[in-house]
Every structure is written in C-alpha cells, then in structure tokens.
Amino acid sequence: MSREQREAIRQLRASSPLDLGGAVHEQRALFEQLLSHHPVPEDVIVTEAHYDTIPGLLVERAEEPCVGTVLYFHGGAYVLGSARSSLGIVADLARRSQTRVITIDYRLAPEHPAPAATDDAVRAYRALISSGADPQRVVVAGESAGGGVALGLLAALSCADEPMPAAALLFSPWVDLTLSGDSMTVRAEEDFILNRTALERRVRDYLGDASAAEQHSPLFADLHGLPTTLIQVGSDEVLLDDSTRLAARLVAADVSVTLDVTAQATHVFQSFAASWDEADAAMTRAATFVRTTLKP
C-alpha cells in the first residue's frame, strides 16, 4: 500500500465539513457533494427508473452486453445518501463486472424509520423479478448501511420462502445496530471515516427507540438459505467486527461466504479505487466475484 495514497484520503476526509453525526438537514447536502464529485465515465449510461414505486437509477455500459443485474443499496447510515450519490462506485462496478446496476432511493430516516429501508428493498427486488429478471441472474449488493439493507432483504426473502438472488456483495456492511462489536473501541483511533458517537445518533434516528436495535439488526436474523456472499472490509474499520461476525454466522448457517479483509483500509475504501491501489484491487476482486457468479 502506498502510504502517500492513504494519507491523501485521510487528509481529504479531515478537510471535509461533513459530520456523519451532525444534523440531518445540514449533512445531507454535504454528503451528496462529497460523494458526487466522481464524474460518470462517458461510456456509462444512467437512466431514471422506478421499481414498484421506489425510484432509482439504471446504470449500464453503452453498447456492452451484460451478464446480469446488480441491485445496489447506497450507504449513509440510514439517514443520508441517495441513488445518485452512489454513482461513482456503482458505475465502476458496472464497468468492471459487465452488469447493469440498479441503485435505488430507499426511504431515509428519521422521516421514515425502520423498517422502511428494508421494506423498500423488498418491494424493489420483487418488482425487478416480476419484470422478468431471473433471480439467478441477479446479485444483491450494498455499502455500509446499504449492506445492512441488502442483508435485511435477503433475510426477508428467506423467511418468506421467495426466490433468492444468485449472490450477495457487501462492502463494509453495517449490520449490528447495537454497536456491540469490539472493533467499535479497538479500531476507533484508526478509522478516520466513522465513529461510535455518530453511529449512535444515526441509530436513534433510524429506530427511535434504541431498545429495538437487536430486532432490526440483520446480523442477528436467521441467515439460513442465503446465497453465496462476498464481504469486503478494511482492517481499520470500527465496523470490522460487523463483517467478521457476519461471516461466522453465515458459516454457521451453512452459507458459502468469503471474507475479504484489506489491511489498513477504512470504511468503503473501494470508492477510492481511482486513487488507492488496494481499493482498485478490491474492486477488481468484487467484480470478478459478480461476473463469475453470473457466468452462464
């Protein structure tokens, strides 16, 4: 890893006015500005679409045959972000994996508390399948809170005995709203993206009553019957234990899972693939997983 590359990312974050634990109405615009600075490549087409009543964006490479569909859920701690703010990482994934990627605008808290995000994910997935998409040609993916939304969707499908997608791809998933992982403390000094104080406020926004945190944490759901899963996470994340414990629970549920940990990387580092060698390599591995899973 280039120390200079990592330090440049740290400095970029330090100079940003974004406060993930700040007032929602102020931070939403800042979050969009921070994540929207990545230009969409000229060979990528972005089309507005709806899945059921859920708005989203269809992202695909121009004149490039696709091997399947990725249904993607953006990050933002359940209160920030949008389909458009995820375009940087989504366009990169679409190009590398040779898929079309659908990124949706699930409802945000505190206006729409739990389980609104998961409910929207379920409706969008059902609409996608009803439109003719073969579940075995679909990968469900998400970053951070979006990873939690993706896992919540899969648990809901399993509970309802509905057709599963071919696979799941999770980038730094936030799946434990109780914030009980040891890494919340052990990795606090290294993680320059997230911190416990910010996450605690977002949990309150999403749940209203923190006593419901375990109930709405997909980490503690019944994970039997889920599809093969790739989890990517950085070793410097306060959410590291969300990924390690999720991998262990998937193994216990007889689910095929790969836990891909990148040393000294922080939260959703894949979004820096254009300027961070390890992030570029991780995105290549993620795209290969998707493409291989969907290969005829």
Tokens of 170: 């999770």
pLDDT beyond 60 at 1: no
pLDDT in tens, 28-87: 999 998 887 677 888 999 999 999 999 999 999 988 889 999 999 999 999 999 999 999
Q: Using 50, 70 and 90 to split pLDDT, how confident is the model at 234?
A: very high
The rounded percent of the chain whose pLDDT value lies above 70 is 98
CA 71, CA 16: separation in Å to the nearest integer? 29
Number of neighbours of residue 185 by Cβ within 10 angstroms: 12
pLDDT surpassing 60 at residue 252: yes
pTM, whole model, 2 decimals? Answer: 0.96
H/E run at residue 252: helix 240-252
Residue 104's closest CA among 137, 174, 87, 92? 87
Catalytic residue numbers read: 144, 237
> Taking each helix axis from N to C terminus, what angle separates 145-159 and 116-130, rounded to the nearest 10 degrees?
60
pLDDT of residue 9: 80
Q: Check: CB of residue 55 under 8 Å from CB of residue 84.
A: no
pLDDT of residue 232: 98
d(CA 1, CA 79): 32
Per-residue pLDDT band at 226 (split at 50, 70, 90): very high
- Tell me what pLDDT residue 146 has: 98
Give the residue-averaged pLDDT of 3-7: 78
Q: What is the pLDDT of residues 153-204, one digit of tens each?
A: 999 999 999 999 999 999 999 999 999 999 999 999 999 999 999 999 999 9
The reported pLDDT for the residue numbered 211 is: 87
pLDDT per residue over 127-161, tens digit each?
A: 999 999 999 999 999 999 999 999 999 999 999 99
* Intra-chain end-to-end CA distance of the chain, in Å: 35
